[in-house]
Structure 1
Amino acid sequence: MRAFATSIDISAPPDRVWQVLTDAPTLAGGGFGILRIDGSIAQGQTFRLWSEVAPKRAFALTVVTMEAPRLMVWTSGMPFGLFRGTRRFNLSAHGSQTRFDMRETFTGPLAPLFGRAIPDLQPSFDTFAAALKRHAEGAHA
């Protein structure tokens, strides 16, 4: 199973971080490594996302879990679970800060085959976390 993860401490309450994390226009225009999002980030919704990592490919993502302001899960993949990506966002309060954790795992019978074609997503995960921190703390530059 191939996976990528990042974590960061953010000097803002979970509600504020959640507000940024679920705002599609901010994610698409705020240095998150996301070029465009069509649709809304809401429970049960499917939206399309274009990333800087693969700018010519739209990823159809479904929000399968949304427990504000602590947990959100997006999934994407092939029918019958042949290949699935699951991205999990966790927010936990620690005093006046929020611990943000993001992890994506790739599973299914075809994961070994497709996993080799997935580029190193670690830099884009770290970019996403840093942008979330900047926006949630109020420094957008």
Structure 2
Amino acid sequence: MKEYKASTTIQASPERIWAVLTDGGSWPQWDPSCDKIEGRIAPGEKLKAFTKLSPGRAFPVKVTEFVPNQKMTWTGGMPLGLFKGVRTFTLAPQGNGVEFTLHEVFSGPMLALIGGSIPDMTSAFQGFVAGLKSRAEKPG
């Protein structure tokens, strides 16, 4: 198993954060690692994520969990679970804001072969949560 995680406290309502998260077209404006998101971020939808970490390569995922204002999960990988990536976006209201967590776990029998080609996503995850925080906390 290989995993990456980043969290931050965002001074905005869960509804505001959710609106930013589910507007895939705007991601390149605030996520420093995102080139574009193709598809509609909604329950059961298939998306293609394009990142600056792997230019020109599409990462197909499916929205496998969608609980508005609380949690969303994207799942991708190879058939038969040979390699799987599960990215979870979690919003947990705190006293004076929302604790937002981005967490991705890679697993499966092919991880040993594929794992070395997965770039270190630590700074990308930190950039994502910082960008989301900045965007969600902006007035309007």
Q: TM-score range by the shorter chain?
A: over 0.9
1:133 maps to 133
Structure 1 alignment gaps of length 5 or more: none
Distance in 2 between residues matched to 1:58 and 1:90, nearest whole Å: 24
Alignment of 1:1-141 (within 5 A): 1-138=1-138
Q: TM-score, length-normalised on structure 2?
A: 0.95
Number of equivalent positions: 139
Structure 1 CA distance, aligned partners of 2:28 and 2:44?
20
RMSD over equivalenced CA pairs, Å? 1.1
- 1:67-106: CA deviations, max 9, x gaps? 0111000011000000000001110101230000111000
Task: Please list every run of at least 4 consecutive aligned residues from structure 1 whose deviation after the TM superposition is greater than 3 angstroms.
Answer: none
For 1:26, the aligned partner's letter is: S
SS in 1 for 2:17: helix
Kept in 2, the 8 Å contact 1:36–1:51? The answer is: yes
The separation in 1 between residues aligned to 2:33 and 2:2, in whole angstroms, is: 21
- Distance between the aligned counterparts of 1:32 and 1:44, measured in 2? 26
Could you state the TM-score of these two structures normalised by the residue count of structure 1? Answer: 0.94
Percent identity reads: 37
Which piece of structure 1 moves more, 39-48 or 28-37?
Answer: 28-37
Larger displacement relative to structure 2 (130-139 or 57-66): 130-139
- When residues 122 and 34 of structure 1 are mapped into structure 2, their CA distance, relative to the original with a 3 A threshold, is same
Larger deviation, residues 121-130 vs 30-39: 30-39
Give unmatched runs, 5+ long, in structure 2: none
Rounded to whole Å, the distance in 1 between the matches of 2:122 and 2:31 is 15
